[in-house]
Homo-oligomer: A and B are copies of this chain.
């Protein structure tokens, strides 16, 4: 319930950029940290009964802010942008089930090595990457 470390990180970022600590930002951070990844709509629904009401635009603004702090990371799985919780996690990629939509996280250093090799061969320098495997999860295969 108390994500003091992430809260500190957010405050530090805000201070460094002359931005303000607001109730909305704290509330949205708290909601965000309760999941592995969420869409703006999902956060909006989570905070539906919150008083005072928090607008959808603020959700978007704050989720993008969390990306700036490095707490979140954008992913484009389908139509909607997913905001991925990456605190306390190393880089990871995703498997997405085409039937039930569940998302499984995984990490694999060997793949990342090979990516670096390929990039080097083309004189390309990687800043980020995206790897998604689509198919059927173990449950939906049966």
Contact = CB atoms under 8 A, between A and B. Distances in A.
B133 A106 contact: no
A17 B118 CA distance: 41
A118 B114 CA distance: 15
Contacts of A127: 98, 134-136
A135 B129 CA distance: 8
Size category, A interface:
20 to 34
A122 interface: yes
Interface string A111-142: 10011001100111111111111111110010
B124 A104 contact: yes
A133 to B, nearest CB: 5
A131 B130 contact: yes
A19 interface: no
28 contacts: A76-B76, A95-B118, A95-B124, A95-B126, A104-B124, A108-B114, A108-B118, A111-B111, A111-B114, A111-B115, A111-B118, A114-B114, A115-B131, A118-B133, A119-B133, A122-B137, A123-B137, A123-B141, A124-B133, A125-B136, A126-B135, A127-B136, A128-B135, A129-B132, A129-B134, A130-B130, A130-B131, A130-B132
